[in-house]
Amino acid sequence: MKQSKKNRNENVLESCFFCNSYYSQDDFLMLEEQDQKNTVHVTCPKCNTSTLVFSSITNTGIVSLGIATDLDKNEVKKMFCNKAIDADDVLEMHELVYEKDALRV
């Protein structure tokens, strides 16, 4: 397992990946909570960047992916209520991000 990748993934839920400010508990909004999957919206208190974080528990550990979004808490809440995002959508997003990561390394 790649140690560097693991560290980076953990940081997604700890600090903003644009300005590295640490989040506080109040900055998080839980959108979806399932057995092995969480979707969280977090807004950076410093640069105001909103990020959607998808966390999955896999057999290699917890994988968290952050994706920058223009939607604020209320908008994203509405989106999640109106249009259910199913596992396939999240999986697709995971694959997209992983592909990008793989190319960058």
Interface contacts to Zn ion, rule CB under 5 A: 16, 18-19, 21, 44, 46-47, 49
Smallest gap, in angstroms, from Cβ of residue 92 to Zn ion?
Answer: 26
Q: Which is nearer to Zn ion, 43 or 56 (CB)?
A: 43
Of residues 27 and 56, the one with the C-beta less far from Zn ion: 27
Question: Between 14 and 89, whose beta carbon lies closer to Zn ion?
Answer: 14
Q: How far apart are CA 86 and CA 88, in angstroms?
A: 5
> Which residues face 41 on adjacent strands?
29, 52
At residue 49, the 3 state secondary structure works out as: coil
Closest by CA to 87, choosing from 13, 35, 19, 20, is 35
CB of 15 to Zn ion, least distance (A): 8
